[in-house]
Structure 1
Amino acid sequence: MAQPNVLRPDEIRDALTEHNKLRARDLAKNLGISEAQILAAQTGAGVTRINANPDMIMTQVPSFGEVMALTRNEWCVHERVGAYGNYHSGAHASMILADEIDLRIFRSHWMHAFAVEKESEAGTKRSLQVFDAAGDSIHKIHLRAESDIQGWDAAVTALATGEVSQTLEVTDRLVAEPAKTNPEKRDILLKEWDLMTDTHQFMRLTAKLKMNRLGAYRIAGKPYARALAPSSVQDMLTQVQTSGAEVMVFVGNRGCIQIHSGPIEKLVTMGQWENVMDPRFNLHLRADHVAEVWAVEKPTQRGPARSFEAFDAEGSLVFQVFPLAKEGRDNRDVWRSILESLPEADVMEPAE
């Protein structure tokens, strides 16, 4: 069901002025509206409504040069510096496969988009921001000092819809699916798990058995899935940092998954946030909202794929980590040692 703005555009702009130090996401939560509705209220005043079709957006953004890509969910923010390119469109899922910007795009959730120019003490900040039907953030592209402004101007002109309304109707937010399991199908799950040749086959397998990812982990048991203590998040990050291992860090939402491939160099704890603060990769994680962690092993044609997967209390995936296993950069052995050293959870015995 579509939900109109509960505040008038001028009331939203007044709140922005009064709370100008507050992040838009936090202000939206305080006001009981969505982040996209805050931007819509500023249409014509530094904000331009643009086409949300990823095919159109991703053909324009390579002209920006180096930017910062941002994808987040409720408890984790993934930021990566690089240039967009090598876009592959698909009916269901599309991809950016550039050297540093690595995305999986699920186009049905790309519903609203804006080009934003905001004045600050450091100058004009420019970004493209994409939101889902509920007005929640899907993906953001932030220009940097070295980005191409002419490319930006041309892209905004090409993408602009001409829509000038300062209101935006959004749908109700989709509720996270809790762990969905089927203990009676455990034998079938494990038999077909053993036959997998690619990790992407796992989601089709669980759907066929009327389970989901977390539900399957809960009944699989070792060596398929090993429940780890939630505190192992900090331990894992620290060991990746100190070992120099190169890993792939996945953070996503319903509309986009963003991947960092490389080492983790600088870890910083700031209040409730655990942070990676590297020059070209930042991760901001509310580790206190990680409720379950699993070390998972799936067979592939290249050998076992071992992952570290963290979930919140509602069953939503917060982030995943895999080893980088490219030719000449094979980190699978050190990653396996890291996973094996992590403490197990006190509970989570497999169901019979």
Structure 2
Amino acid sequence: METSTQTKTSAAAGANALAEAWESLQQTKPGIRIREAARALGASEAELLATKIGPQVVRLQGPWPELLRRFTTLGRVMSLTRNDACILEHKGLFQEIDIIDAGPRSMATVIGPIESRVFFHAWHVAFAATEEKTDRVLKSIQVFDRSGEAITKIYLQEKSDEEAYARLIEDFRSPDQSPEQPVSVYAAEVLQGPENEAAFLQEWSELKDTHEFFGMLRRHKVDRYHALEVARGKYTYQLNAKATPQVILEQAAAQKLPIMIFAGNRGNLQIHQGKVRTIRLLERGHNGPEPWLNVLDPDFNMHLRMDLVDTAWVVKKNTTEGFVTSVELFNKQRNLVAQFFGLRKPGIPEKLEWRSIVENLPAL
């Protein structure tokens, strides 16, 4: 029977082997990003980062709501949230944070220059990391779920408060500073609904607010993609997925029309609210050219990997102010990649300019 000491020795050996493999990969592919390196090595980002624990990397612990609140002390930072296909980056302040304590479903809303919806049930471990680049030093707080996937990363900027950053690290330093980071795979959630399609569509017709949509899906035990299929022709229809995102961004930029972009993962949903200006389609990647659609504005960047966008849907939800129209992008696994809305405030109908853009998007 393996003893506790043997287990620790085995884990340390595994971490050392992973660190060596990562270093070898970086020599073979200089500049490879940690997410790509983790995939190539059959590991996770969190496992790779843990191998650097020492002067450059410190493991942090919760309480996670208190850690989030401390982001307000850092001053101007860059907040990055992503999934496999879409990355949102905002520069600004963590201004207003409201913690909604609901036990296992505890969450927070972040409002201001950086806006997000935070789901603490997925926050598992965090690290403070210092990365030395050829032209700069990057300091960050990085949060991961239990599978080792990144939830969000907060990077210091030129005018960030470095002293507040140092205090945060000391206050949230974990007693565990070992180079191993255990991870576990999330079981796939299987939803078979809706059992009664007519009742589901009837409830859809009676929505009063877009925020009721997720609760409706849960009540009917239906996943989002299947819900759109059930409502096809009534509240949803498909678009040309390869053309739609670029048309939306270019039309919004040309008309100076404020829009909303949502993208995230199981632990964080980051939101852009405002105009977009500089739209570029570029190819990059260490494993061959990858087509990325980009918004490259001073305080906001979006990077959308177009070859991973499989379907695009127009979705209409009833509200007390009339229909609210979104365009939703999904990957081949039918996971939500990103959503686009016209910017609107509660109590105000959707802008006709946004509806016109959506109505003229290329159909499937």
TM-score (norm 1): 0.90
Task: Give me the CA root mean square deviation.
Answer: 2.2
Query: Could you tell me how far 1:221 is from its partner in structure 2?
Result: 2.4
Query: Which of the residues 123, 126, 142 maps onto 1:113?
Result: 126
Query: Which of the residues 12, 18, 23 maps onto 1:12?
Result: 18
Query: Could you tell me how far 1:181 is from its partner in structure 2?
Result: 5.1
Q: Does 1:334 align with 2:346?
A: no
Q: Does 1:77 align with 2:87?
A: yes
**Residue of structure 2 equivalent to 1:256:** 268
Q: Does 1:303 align with 2:315?
A: no
Of the structure 1 ranges 189-198 and 50-59, higher mean CA displacement relative to structure 2 is found in: 50-59
Note the 1:117-156 alignment, pairs <5 A: 117-156=130-169
Query: Which of the residues 209, 216, 241 maps onto 1:205?
Result: 216
Query: Could you tell me how far 1:311 is from its partner in structure 2?
Result: 0.5
Q: Does 1:32 align with 2:38?
A: no
Query: Which of the residues 214, 231, 243 maps onto 2:225?
Result: 214
* Alignment coverage as a number of residue pairs: 340
Confirm or deny: 8 A CA contact 1:5 1:169 kept in the other structure: no
Query: Could you tell me how far 1:176 is from its partner in structure 2?
Result: 7.2
CA distance in 2: counterparts of 1:335 and 1:52, whole angstroms: 41
The Cα offsets for residues 122-154 of structure 1, whole Å up to 9 and x where unpaired, read as 332100000000000001100111111111111
Q: 1:329 to 1:281 in 2, by over 3 A?
A: farther
Q: Does 1:243 align with 2:262?
A: no
CA distance in 2: counterparts of 1:37 and 1:5, whole angstroms: 11
Query: Could you tell me how far 1:205 is from its partner in structure 2?
Result: 1.8
Q: 1:43 to 1:192 in 2, by over 3 A?
A: same
Structure 1: runs of 5+ lacking an equivalent: 346-352
**Residue of structure 2 equivalent to 1:164:** 177
CA distance in 1: counterparts of 2:189 and 2:279, whole angstroms: 29
Q: Which amino acid aligns with 1:262?
A: G
Query: Which of the residues 177, 183, 194 maps onto 2:205?
Result: 194
The Cα offsets for residues 194-218 of structure 1, whole Å up to 9 and x where unpaired, read as 1111112222222222312111111
Query: Which of the residues 51, 57, 66 maps onto 1:47?
Result: 57
Q: Which amino acid aligns with 1:239?
A: Q
CA distance in 1: counterparts of 2:279 and 2:11, whole angstroms: 40
Q: Identity rate of aligned residues, in percent?
A: 32
SS at match of 2:196: helix
CA distance in 1: counterparts of 2:118 and 2:145, whole angstroms: 12
**Residue of structure 1 equivalent to 2:6:** none
Structure 2: runs of 5+ lacking an equivalent: 1-9, 284-290
CA distance in 2: counterparts of 1:46 and 1:284, whole angstroms: 28
**Residue of structure 1 equivalent to 2:5:** none
SS at match of 1:37: helix
Confirm or deny: 8 A CA contact 2:88 2:303 kept in the other structure: yes
Query: Which of the residues 212, 230, 249 maps onto 2:241?
Result: 230
Confirm or deny: 8 A CA contact 1:78 1:284 kept in the other structure: yes
Of the structure 1 ranges 52-61 and 11-20, higher mean CA displacement relative to structure 2 is found in: 11-20
Confirm or deny: 8 A CA contact 1:203 1:212 kept in the other structure: no
**Residue of structure 1 equivalent to 2:72:** 62
CA distance in 1: counterparts of 2:106 and 2:258, whole angstroms: 26
TM-score (norm 2): 0.88
The Cα offsets for residues 257-302 of structure 1, whole Å up to 9 and x where unpaired, read as 0001001101111111111111111111111211111111111123
SS at match of 2:216: helix
Q: Does 1:270 align with 2:282?
A: yes
Confirm or deny: 8 A CA contact 2:260 2:273 kept in the other structure: yes
The Cα offsets for residues 26-69 of structure 1, whole Å up to 9 and x where unpaired, read as 11111111000011111113100101443121221111100000
